[in-house]
Amino acid sequence: MVRTGLQRWLTEGPACAGLGDSPRYGLVAHPATIDTAGRHVLEIAGSSAPGLPTRLFAPEHGLWGREQDMESVGEVVDPWTGIPVISLYGEDASSLRPSAETLEGLDAVVVDLQDIGSRYYTFIYTMAYVMEAAAPTGLPVVVLDRPNPIGGMRVEGPVLEPGWESFVGRYPLPVRHGMTAGELARWFNDTQDIGCDLRVVEMTGWERSMEFERTGLPWVPPSPNMPAVRTARVYPGGCLIEGTRLSEGRGTTLPFELVGSPTLDARSLAGRLREREAPGVAFRATAFRPMFQKHTGETCHGVHVIVTDDATFQPFETYLAILAVARESAGDDFAWRTEAYEFEVDRLAIDLLCGTDWIRAGLESGVEVRELTQRWQPGLDRFRREREAFLLYR
């Protein structure tokens, strides 16, 4: 069984991070901050070697995962422990970074957030903002490492380009980065010149090729629409649907696996996608009715994306193909999302997600997805070489 950084922190104590006994520490946590028995850290920290945290910090979706995407998180007192909870996802972009006042009196800030291996997922940037806020005073930041649930071998998609930074992509990462949170923290600290006192508590027993199901760890949704590991597997592509007026299946039991709208022809869409013979995936023509978010209460027609072989499935390229075919099929009924997206009001969500605007322009011009893939390959190869120095596991 894999032992996470949290498991080591609870059993070995603060010494595993080079800290003294009984530190006054702040904890950045969410629903998936659990031990191997599924117990949340706040259930057991009081009787563990480090003791309870002094202060809690809540990222997007909150400490308990109640808030939906882009719903602000309030500052409350945790009812289990009576510890104040500081929001790191409020009403505006300034709320994403902890203030100097919220870090006062602490001996360290401990971060334990389950990432899912995609550049868009915001928890890694919450971690980075904490690192930046702690750096000027030398306050140690301890990252308790966890598995990348979609593996640590493969990378995919375009590397984010300068000028397209946002809360769904702050740094030049590819869409699928193949790194753990601890490895990313090391990469952020060095390549982005953060320079904080970073201490990563490494896992034991995890290997880069390991599927999450082999870790022996329970899966807890780190956010409301990440119910299963299979959701994480499609997310590097499925999140692109957020940049359109199509439903990405929020408000159903299969978020990011379902794609559709009231005006699409499901059988035609599925048939045209099958003709492309994308590896490791099957497309089922379907209909669904979202109970919230886009097209609430309306019947949507589209496809169910079913991963048949994770070893060959290419989520980003697959969902680009879905966008290309859906755009051709729907004609004027297809549209990009224009509303504010993760505190950004002047740039299209699809461009923020792609980390550039030339992919959208290519789709609008009818450029083949394989041609787009070739264009981002050199940057992906450079990243693959660069990340080697920051990897912690074989």
Q: Mark residue 168 as left, alpha or beta (left: phi above 0; alpha: psi -120 to 50; beta: remaining).
A: alpha
CATH architecture of 5-220: 3-Layer(aba) Sandwich (3.40)
**Euclidean distance between the first and final Cα of the chain, in Å?**
16
Residue 168: phi, psi to the nearest 5?
A: -105, 15
Residues 6+ positions from 228 with CB-CB distance below 8 Å:
219, 221
- Threshold 0.85, pTM exceeds: yes
Residues 6+ positions from 31 with CB-CB distance below 8 Å:
40, 61, 63, 64, 65, 220, 221, 222
Q: Which two tokens stand for residue 275?
A: 């003709």
pLDDT at 16: 98
pLDDT at 355: 98
Q: pLDDT tens, position by position, for the chain (394 residues)? A: 899 999 999 999 999 999 999 999 999 999 999 999 999 999 999 999 999 999 999 999 999 999 999 999 999 999 999 999 999 999 999 999 999 999 999 999 999 999 999 999 999 999 999 999 999 999 999 999 999 999 999 999 999 999 999 999 999 999 999 999 999 999 999 999 999 999 999 999 999 999 999 999 999 999 999 999 999 999 999 999 999 999 999 999 999 999 999 999 999 999 999 999 999 999 999 999 999 999 999 999 999 999 999 999 999 999 999 999 999 988 888 999 999 999 999 999 999 999 999 999 999 999 999 999 999 999 999 999 999 999 999 9
Domain boundaries, the chain: 5-220, 229-356
Considering the domain 229-356 in this protein, what is its CATH number?
3.90.1150.140
